[in-house]
Amino acid sequence: MLSEPILTSRAEDGRDIPLLVWHADVPLRAVSSGPLGGGIGVRRWVLNATVPMSYDRDDPAVHLVALAADLALDGPGVGLLTGVNVAEVVARTDTGVRAWATVGLGTPVLAAAPAPAGLAQRVGTVNIVVYVPARLADSALVNAVATATEAKTQAITELGLPGTGTPTDAVTVLCPVDGPEAAYAGPRSTWGAPLARAVHAAVLAGGARAVVPWSEQLTG
């Protein structure tokens, strides 16, 4: 079982920077596109860390390992980064599936559009964390990432933004390691359908409100 996230903070450069942490009661299967703990494997925690918009480290995984150590997080986990204040996380539940999203849509892009000459320094990350209360096969875990991404894109379209996502979005899906294995997680499957609805609702709610980068909130 994955806990509700705990909001905490870290001291960095004289500022208290927010962190969001999910703990697993027991190890969980996971798939993630995050900079730390990406791929498919067994994970014990998820960390979503706010960073200033000036963030320019080229070793985000190393940074996240250090943050996890400071929080005494044991074992393998998933680490995510965002310019959004993670205290603004949006949670939605549907038929036992739980989804959390920190939504920054300041840099929407169309996935297959030509790359622009430069991107504005705005909040541009949507981090999605999902817990499915049934064991998913490896193929279903991958399918779940696709379903979550489709649901996110549907929400962005409904918000009237010209994009399918942002350049730095990440998705993490977790499920139990035991129990009967579900082979599918597409949007019309037993677990993919509620996953899609929960993610869509979370991203739609998070994107409907004005989002100011955490580092700009400090200066007003």
H/E/C letters for each residue in 16-76?
EEEEEEEEEEEEEEEEECCCECCEEEEEEEEEEEECCCCCCCCCHHHHHHHHHHHCCCCCC
Q: What band does 60 get if pLDDT is binned at 50, 70 and 90?
A: very high
What's the pLDDT at 114? Answer: 87
Cβ pair 214, 104 in contact under 8 A: no
Q: What band does 19 get if pLDDT is binned at 50, 70 and 90?
A: very high
pLDDT tops 90 at residue 218: no
Q: What is the mean pLDDT of the chain?
A: 93
Q: Give mean pLDDT, residues 136-157.
A: 98
Least reliable range by pLDDT among 15-24, 72-81, 209-218: 209-218
Cβ pair 90, 100 in contact under 8 A: yes
Q: What is the pLDDT of residues 31-41, one digit of tens each?
A: 999 999 999 99
Q: What is the pTM of this model?
A: 0.95
